[in-house]
Chains A and B, each alone.
Chain A
Amino acid sequence: MQKGLLEGIKRGETVLEARGITKRFPGVVANDHIDFEIRAGEIHAVLGENGAGKTTLMNILFGLLQPDEGEVYIGGKRVEFRSPLDAIELGIGMVHQHRKLVPAHTAIENIVLGHPRAGRILNLKRAEDEVKELCERYGFKIDLRAKVWQLSEGEKQMVEILKALYRGAEVLILDEPTSALTPPETKKLLASIEAMAEDELAIIPFITHKLPVVLAISDRVTVLRRGKVMDCLEIECATENSLAKSMVGREVIFRVERTKVEKGKPILQVENLSAFNDKGFLALNGVSFSIHEGEIFGLAGISGNGQHELAEVLAGLRQAAGGQVILEGKDITHASSLERWHKRIGYIPPERIEVGTIGDFSLVENIAMNFYFDDDFSHRGILDYRKIRQLTEEIVSEYGVAAPSPDTKAKNLSGGNLQRLILARVLSRQPRLLIANLPTQGLDVGATEFVQNKLMEAKKEKAGILLISEDLDEILSLSDWVAPIYEGKFMGIIPGEEARRESVGAMMAGSKEQVDCSR
């Protein structure tokens, strides 16, 4: 491979171009004659729903996949990548959504790992100085000698970006760069990205949702739908609505409205509940609240503040360290998860792939996960697979799970479809108490809207709902009660109509008092 194809390229000149990229997988055309081009110093976002073909395109540009048809040009010269190594050599860097770092090594060790100059004897000192310079130039604040496992998600991402830059990337592909970040981290990252673009780097963020982010930083945006380019716009010509429309193919209502439902009997009462996390620390520290029929109780907080432990204790997957859980007047603090399913508690777990579904199981077998124990679906220990299949077919069509057949394995489904499947399975048990743990995380605009609507329907059917989300806007627009959680404690319980973004945000960060926003 020739090196230095990008030397001497000036701002505004095309660095990377893809023409007529087509990639087929058995049964689908993931990329259908996609044209894409990026110039030096440009931020060109690629937008699309789950399954629109973003990942495939990204993998082709980075050499992880070879296109069936079409060509890739760098600096005007045709190139063929046999592996990511070729792409890296030619100045393409990629930051994956799922981190590819060695947790037990320090940040700087990860950055030099695989660098051609690292050779046999490491000169970490020199590397550290060089990387520090990069940090300063782009405003990354990070301790390079910290072990990666100690770093936050945002810092890990910085390490990945630095790794690509240190390797000499001129084109930086970012996969869902803001999905795991807290709002302040997002703000810093966007500033760094802009600084890099100033330096004539070409940056391609791939994004499923978070349209405001796209509008805030991009110069241009390409929208993909079902493997085709729907639009390629200068950002000035785009609005949140127009982007969403071309992404989803129809008008999208951004916020599902909170519907008022007559307050019913109490369903869940929690008294002074606490629990340990996996590392043995007290993660949930004495929370008390109650949920009534037809209410959504929204838990606002940044991951790792005890909300996950709370959800698991309520679902019977984690033992309570203290306190009491009462469901419709009965103490269920020590009930097993199976008993809780029988008592019509439904849990939507955030780990869709590891916990919510079984990848090697067919859709029918996945649906069986919440029904195999029902007498309706088994007779003397023999499962009634015909009945479960029937249910699966109903669910698949009602919830619009895109799958070739009920025998398709769950691992062949996209994230949004998996979530529809889980949601469908849990909701068709008509739960009295629904625990929705990060139900829309990572979903595209269309799927998010769908999930939120379904939660609203469950509410109208008098379910009590505990909604856990990192998306503050989602909590605020859906919840009847908002409880910001910080270090295992509620910072308050606020009626939904009175909750304001600023004050709840401050409470999520540990402030007890309500901030007066009028000042």
Chain B
Amino acid sequence: MRIGSYELKLEKRLTLAGWQAAIISILAIIFALALFSFLFILAKINPLSAYRQIFAYAFANPYGLPLTINRFIFLLLCTCAFIIPFRAGLWNIGMTGQLYSGALGVFAVLFAFGGKALPPPHLSPALLIPLMLIAAALGGAGLAAIAGFLKGKFNVNEIVVTMMLNFITFWLVAEMIKEGGPFMNPGGRSESFDVPPSLYAPLIMGIPFTIFLALGLAVLLYYMFAKTKIGYQIKAYGHSPAAARYAGISTFMIPLLVFVLGGVVAGLAGYHYFAAVPGVYKIARNYAYFGDLAFYGIICGLISLGNPLAAIPVALLFGGLTTGGRFVQGKLNMGFGVDYALLGVLMITLVAFQFFYRFRLILRPSKGS
């Protein structure tokens, strides 16, 4: 394309450094926010002040920030749960089911140790919190393993299986917490019984310890994919199962393994939201909302191109925007769904800007006629 005496050309990139990808993503975010400001303008709201309020609430408000951080932990875990199978070329659409299943594991442990009793008994956190974590991990892993096994053994499409398991687990949770269900709240209300206060997750400056779990996992996964033998095998399978088989990598074990690992992480997300976030401490009536939130793990995973370290800022941004967006919607009397619309625009822009991961625009003086 010619612009005056300049020529605009697309050129294929051969390599993409991490910082280049980061700059492209930041530009995408700015572009998305600019695009979305039309909506504010249409609603006769100054976009700059709207964005200031969104970010101020999400990242600098004593009520908003903890909300953001808890969402961030949850999202980061869900993103990692998506990324592990994703690096093996497999799509985990079942973080929702896996986190429910993890939460069921947590409450099964509490139930077994008599945590349902009223008044809440004092139980040893040193014994039970690790047990709850293990149960969450096993719950998530057990459910995800079904998809991994079917994929590895019979090449059954993992998207369909994980998706269907979501529904099954959703109703399983309903069955467990409804009136008459073993995990029902003594007050009814279609909620689970409360976690006994003695087993509330330890807080560090008001933040559940699960933040270290999530950040640690992200770093660990990065290291696993970059350096370890198993990480290499997963990547090889992800790029080409046929080539992986040629290299002696088991095409049964890899799908099973990545789903089990993904399930473990998703199960921990279930522990985090239903047993570690201050003010929740139960499988709340609106548990479906957190199940839906888990789907943002897919988006975050795709935007960060399967890199667990890149997933950290992405999950933080999305966590912040879900809380901030919801807040301004109420404050500015805007219609329902502003937060979703904002996230939607952001997602599309981020994905569209990935075009620049593969190509770059070059402006140079045109030559010839």
Contacts and interface: CB of A to CB of B under 8 A. Distances in A.
B236 to A, nearest CB: 6
B155 interface: no
A278 to B, nearest CB: 12
A7 interface: no
Contact of A354 (B12, B14, B242, B249): B242
A381 B229 contact: yes
A442 interface: no
B240 to A, nearest CB: 5
A513 interface: no
Interface in A63-83: none
A360 B235 CA distance: 10
- Give the interface centre of A355, A368, A370, A412 by most chain B CB atoms within 10 Å: A355
Contacts of B242: 351, 354-355
Interface string B218-260: 0000000001111011011001101101111110000000000
Given A355-B240, A359-B239, A360-B239, A383 B229 contact: yes
B11 interface: yes
Given A355-B240, A358-B239, A359-B239, A381 B246 contact: no
Given A26-B12, A336-B248, A372 B243 contact: no
A352 to B, nearest CB: 10
Given A26-B11, A341-B248, A369 B228 contact: no
Given A26-B12, A337-B248, A383-B227, A357 B243 contact: yes
Which of A315, A358, A359, A360 has the largest count of B CB atoms less than 10 A from its CB?
A: A358
A382 B236 contact: no
A382 B228 contact: yes
B243 A355 contact: yes
Given A368-B232, A383-B229, A383-B232, A356 B14 contact: no
A496 interface: no
B243 A358 contact: yes
Given A26-B11, A349-B246, A358 B229 contact: no
Contacts of B246: 315, 317, 337, 347, 349, 355-356, 369
A359 B248 CA distance: 18
A9 B4 CA distance: 41
A373 interface: yes
Contact of B232 (A315, A317, A365, A412): A365
A354 B229 CA distance: 21
A338 interface: yes
B358 to A, nearest CB: 12
A142 B239 CA distance: 39
A373 B247 CA distance: 9
A338 B233 CA distance: 12
A399 interface: no
Contacts of B236: 358, 361, 365, 369
Contacts of A289: none
Given A354-B240, A361-B236, A373-B248, A27 B227 contact: no
A254 interface: no
Interface of B is mostly: helix
A378 interface: yes
Contacts of A369: 236, 243, 246-247
B14 A27 contact: yes
A469 B245 CA distance: 23
Interface in A357-389: 357-361, 365, 368-370, 372-373, 378, 381-383, 385
Contacts of A316: 248
Nearest to B231: A383
A193 to B, nearest CB: 36
B221 to A, nearest CB: 14
Interface residues of A, number: 34
Nearest to B236: A358
B369 to A, nearest CB: 12
B82 to A, nearest CB: 20
Nearest to B247: A369
Nearest to B368: A69
B239 A361 contact: yes
A365 B248 CA distance: 15
Contacts of A368: 232
Nearest to A409: B14
Contacts of A355: 240, 242-243, 246
A370 B247 contact: yes
A354 B250 CA distance: 17
Interface string A179-216: 00000000000000000000000000000000000000
Nearest to B233: A372
Contacts of A356: 243, 246
Contacts of A373: 229, 248
A359 B239 CA distance: 8
A382 B245 contact: no
Interface in B188-227: 227
A14 to B, nearest CB: 24
A336 B345 CA distance: 49
Interface string A303-347: 000000000000111000000000000000000111111000001
A385 B249 CA distance: 18
A468 to B, nearest CB: 16
Contacts of B248: 316, 336-341, 373
Contacts of A412: 14
A351 B242 CA distance: 10
Interface in B325-369: none
Contacts of A360: 239
A378 B233 CA distance: 13
Contact of A372 (B11, B12, B14, B247): B247
A339 B249 CA distance: 11
Interface string B18-49: 00000000000000000000000000000000
Contacts of B247: 337, 341, 369-370, 372
A328 B240 CA distance: 32
Given A355-B240, A360-B239, A369-B247, A378 B229 contact: yes
A382 B227 contact: yes
Contacts of A349: 246
Contacts of B235: 361, 365
Contacts of A383: 227-229, 232
Contacts of B229: 372-373, 378, 381-383
B232 A354 contact: no
A349 B240 CA distance: 14
Nearest to B15: A407
A385 B228 CA distance: 9
Nearest to B227: A382
Which residue of B14, B227, B228, B240 has the most chain A CB atoms within 10 A of its CB atom?
B240
A66 to B, nearest CB: 11
A365 B247 CA distance: 12
A347 B180 CA distance: 62
A372 to B, nearest CB: 5
A358 to B, nearest CB: 5
Contact of A381 (B11, B12, B230, B245): B230
B20 to A, nearest CB: 15
Pick the most buried of B235, B239, B248: most chain A CB atoms within 10 A of its CB. Answer: B248
The listed residue with most B CB atoms (<10 A of its CB), out of A365, A370, A383, A385, is A383
Given A372-B229, A385-B227, A412-B14, A337 B240 contact: no
Closest 7 CB pairs of A and B: A338-B248, A369-B247, A358-B239, A337-B248, A355-B246, A355-B242, A378-B229
Given A347-B246, A372-B232, 10 more contacts: A27-B14, A317-B246, A354-B240, A360-B239, A365-B236, A368-B232, A372-B247, A382-B227, A383-B229, A385-B227
24 contacts: A26-B11, A26-B12, A336-B248, A336-B250, A339-B248, A341-B247, A341-B248, A354-B240, A354-B242, A355-B242, A356-B243, A358-B236, A358-B239, A359-B239, A361-B236, A361-B239, A368-B232, A369-B243, A369-B246, A372-B233, A373-B248, A378-B229, A381-B228, A383-B229
